[in-house]
Amino acid sequence: MPAAPIPRPVPARSLSDLWVALPAGVAVGYAVLPVAGLLLFALSSARVQPALRLPAAHDAVLLTAVTSTLVAGIAALVGTPLAYLLGRSEFRGRRLVEVVVEFPLVLPPVVAGVALLMTFGRRGLLGPALAAAGIEVPFTTAAVVLAQLFVAGPFYIASARVGFAAVPRELTEAASIDGASSWQQFRHVALPLATPALAGGAVLCWARAASEFGATLLFAGNLPGRTQTLSLAIMTALEADLDAAVALSVLLLALSAGALAGLRLLAASRTTLLW
Amino acid sequence: MGGALAAGLVVAGALAAAVAAPVRGDVLVFAAASLSDAFGEAGRVLERQHPGLRVALHFAASSTLRTQILQGARADVFASADERNMRLVHEAGLLRTAPLTFARNELVVAVPASHPTGISSVRDLARPGLKLVVAAPEAPIGAYTRQVLAALSRDPAYGPDFARRVLANVVSQEPNVRATLARVALGEADAAFVYRSDLVSAYGSRVRTIEIPRWANVTARYSIAVLRTASHPVAARRFIDVVLSEAGQAILARFGFLPARD
């Protein structure tokens, strides 16, 4: 049987096509311009650099890095089996579970914050039970992690689910015929092939957690060193000192850019990117 | 007597003319968060007087509003909960009219109405383990809060470390006074420093008031002015007229503000 012809990639559109070049240029410009504005202001103001060394900036960077990394870790730990289930199996109500799990993607973060308060707050659904156990969640670093996890976790699950779904079914079936257990099929077939999607999802989740604002402010409050992440520090600084706010914005920008660069490097190191 | 009558008629006529002169357009008012309820009503009064006019209100901490104005936000009226933020806007050359004081306010401590906190006086706020919320020091209410605590600390009965012990109980620094009050009204926090006028808001019924000793309290002076960037300066002046009018002052009094002058 002759091998199926490999489809040739469609040649890239020439930039001389005005209907492509013009909107594309606008889109690129709109993405670049605000970032350029921020960086130019930061470079031109002599007071931005000293603000980077403020202890509040240091605390906020540390807190943001620690909580976002925790969130990405928890999402990977808890979300991977769920994503595997959703991406690889058919069961009644699968679509419903999918929608429920990924619903926070379209939920305004402020609403998420109110919902978390109404659930874990003193007067919330679980408030009395938590209080009886001596646990108070709001205004703690744990509340920051919970808020970020609720908002950013679905980014990981969605990406991982698509990654697992793209693993060819014949491969796991062949492994199954060869006697591989369900764990072995997951560990040695699906997981390696879906790794780029999982890693991409983890980076997206991390970046979304790092930039989370609304849910954190409502649920965790705003206290330097305990619940004040970079986004909250930017809001607080903006009230009094534009230079400090710009300095903190540049820091958060650098963190996010680092995450994106990491994602790109990861993608480049793989021949197939499945998502 | 005839003169008084004539004068009365002239005043009435002038008032009628002022009301009748059609003023159109949208007035964008940047106002301190504590004015949320009172200015909503003042705006409706103005809209009834001038059917072609619409009042849009934007509420935030006065410091936030000042930053927005200095960064080029185009508004018609600025109403600040302190004199400092108004002065900063004035110094930037962004005022069209001289600022006028239109109300005063003072601070109280709000505690949840339903939740026993064991707080019966300001002194109790230093007790370890309490959950206290304050506004960030950048917002006027946040600055006033720290002034009150500093004043109390100067009294030997409270002790020089009173402010430090109270601030150690702070679990969150909120962006403005209404967000601060909401924490207590929702029962998440045990106490918060707010304006007396905030107790008349929708959250007021959910909190109890602890008075601050008169000698340690501060007086917040609210000032209002037309901004240089105003696109409807005439309508903006009409809004300020309403705020300063007897009706406007009555609205402010009903929402718990003190009159501009004793």
* Tens digits of residue pLDDT in B134-185: 998 888 899 999 999 999 999 999 999 999 999 999 999 998 888 899 999 9
The pLDDT, as a whole number, for residue B1 is 42
Mean pLDDT across B117-146:
92
Residues of chain A with pLDDT below 50 are: 1-3, 271-275
Mean pLDDT across B206-214:
94
The pLDDT, as a whole number, for residue A163 is 95
- Other C-beta atoms lying within 10 Å of the C-beta of residue A142: 17
What does the alpha-carbon distance between residue B258 and residue A72 come to, in Å, rounded to a whole number? 52
The pLDDT, as a whole number, for residue A147 is 97
Q: Does the distance separating the beta carbons of B133 and A239 come in below 8 Å?
A: no
The pLDDT, as a whole number, for residue B262 is 65
Q: CB contact, 8 Å: A249 with chain B?
A: no
pLDDT grade for B25, boundaries at 50, 70 and 90: confident
The pLDDT, as a whole number, for residue B24 is 75
The region of weakest confidence among A206-215, B8-17, B124-133 is B8-17
Q: How far is A124 from chain B (nearest CA, A)?
A: 10
Choosing among B65, B173, B190, which should be mutated to test the A contact, i.e. which has the most A CBs within 10 A? Answer: B173
Q: CB contact, 8 Å: A113 with chain B?
A: no
Beta-ladder partners of B170: B132
A246-267 tens-digit pLDDT: 999 999 999 888 888 887 787 7
Q: Does the distance separating the beta carbons of A227 and B172 come in below 8 Å?
A: yes
B55-103 tens-digit pLDDT: 999 999 898 899 889 988 899 999 999 999 999 999 999 999 999 999 9
The pLDDT, as a whole number, for residue A10 is 59
The pLDDT, as a whole number, for residue A100 is 94
The pLDDT, as a whole number, for residue B2 is 47
Query: Which residues of A are less than 8 Å from B64 in CB distance?
Result: 238-239
Q: How far is A273 from chain B (nearest CA, A)?
A: 43
Sign of the alpha-carbon dihedral angle for A39, A41, A46, A50: negative
On the question of pLDDT at B3 being above 70, the answer is no
The pLDDT, as a whole number, for residue A20 is 85
Q: Does the distance separating the beta carbons of A240 and B138 come in below 8 Å?
A: yes
Cα(first)–Cα(last) distance of chain B, in Å? 31
On the question of pLDDT at B19 being above 80, the answer is no
Helices (H), chain B: 2-20, 36-49, 62-70, 83-91, 140-153, 162-167, 177-185, 233-244, 246-254
Q: How far is A121 from chain B (nearest CA, A)?
A: 7
What does the alpha-carbon distance between residue A139 and residue A152 come to, in Å, rounded to a whole number? 19
What does the alpha-carbon distance between residue A92 and residue A79 come to, in Å, rounded to a whole number? 20
The pLDDT, as a whole number, for residue A109 is 92
The pLDDT, as a whole number, for residue B172 is 95
| Chain A nearest-CA residue for B175 | A236
The pLDDT, as a whole number, for residue B62 is 92
Nearest-5° angle of CA B1, CA B4, CA B7?
Answer: 150
| Chain B nearest-CA residue for A219 | B188
What does the alpha-carbon distance between residue A174 and residue A167 come to, in Å, rounded to a whole number? 13
Select from B71, B115, B173 the Cβ nearest to the Cβ of A236.
B173
Q: CB contact, 8 Å: B129 with chain A?
A: no
Choosing among B65, B172, B180, which should be mutated to test the A contact, i.e. which has the most A CBs within 10 A? Answer: B172
Q: What percent of chain B has pLDDT over 90?
A: 72
Mean pLDDT across B119-130:
94
Token pair of B35 as six digits: 């004015």
Report yes or no: B175 and B216 within 8 Å, Cβ to Cβ. Answer: no
For A219-244, give one letter per residue: b (16+ CB within 10 A) or e.
bbbbbbebbbbbbbbbbbbbbbbbbb
pLDDT grade for B6, boundaries at 50, 70 and 90: low
Q: How far is B138 from chain A (nearest CA, A)?
A: 6
Q: Which residues contact A263 (CB under 8 A, 6 or more apart)?
A: A199, A200, A203, A204
Mean pLDDT across chain B, nearest whole number? Answer: 89
Q: CB contact, 8 Å: A242 with chain B?
A: yes
Q: CB contact, 8 Å: A178 with chain B?
A: no
Q: Map residue A244 onto helix, strand or coil.
A: helix
Task: Please report, as a single letter, which amino acid is at residue A230.
Answer: L
Beta-ladder partners of B108: B194
Report yes or no: B189 and A220 within 8 Å, Cβ to Cβ. Answer: no
Q: How far is B66 from chain A (nearest CA, A)?
A: 8
The DSSP symbol for A229 reads -
The pLDDT, as a whole number, for residue A14 is 62
Token pair of A217 as six digits: 């402010």
Query: Which residues of A are less than 8 Å from B115 in CB distance?
Result: 122
Report yes or no: B196 and B105 within 8 Å, Cβ to Cβ. Answer: yes
Q: Map residue B74 onto helix, strand or coil.
A: coil
Mean pLDDT across B35-44:
94
Q: Which residue has the tokens 């809004």?
A: B239
Mean pLDDT across B219-227:
96
pLDDT grade for B44, boundaries at 50, 70 and 90: very high
Give the residue among A250, A215, A257 at the shortest CA–CA distance from A232: A215
What is the helix (H) or strand (E) element at residue A21, kind and residue range? helix A18-44
The pLDDT, as a whole number, for residue A112 is 94
Q: Which residues contact B48 (CB under 8 A, 6 or more apart)?
A: none
Nearest-5° angle of CA A159, CA A102, CA A268?
Answer: 15
Q: Which residue has the tokens 């989740």?
A: A205
What is the helix (H) or strand (E) element at residue B226, kind and residue range? strand B219-226
The pLDDT, as a whole number, for residue A6 is 58
The pLDDT, as a whole number, for residue A275 is 40
Token pair of A241 as six digits: 């000192």
- B window 164-193, beta carbon within 8 A of A: 170-175, 183, 186-189
What does the alpha-carbon distance between residue B249 and residue B257 come to, in Å, rounded to a whole number? 9
Q: Does the distance separating the beta carbons of A227 and B173 come in below 8 Å?
A: no
pTM, entire model: 0.80
What is the Cα gyration radius of chain A?
Answer: 22
The pLDDT, as a whole number, for residue B138 is 84
HSE-up of residue A181 (Cα within 13 Å, Cβ side): 3
The pLDDT, as a whole number, for residue A9 is 60
Higher pLDDT: B192 or B177? It is: B192
The region of weakest confidence among A99-108, A191-200, B196-205, B231-240 is B196-205
Give the residue among A147, A240, A259 at the shortest CA–CA distance from A200: A259
Report yes or no: B120 and B107 within 8 Å, Cβ to Cβ. Answer: no
Q: How far is A245 from chain B (nearest CA, A)?
A: 11
Choosing among A140, A213, A234, A239, which should be mutated to test the B contact, i.e. which has the most B CBs within 10 A? Answer: A239
Q: How far is A195 from chain B (nearest CA, A)?
A: 40
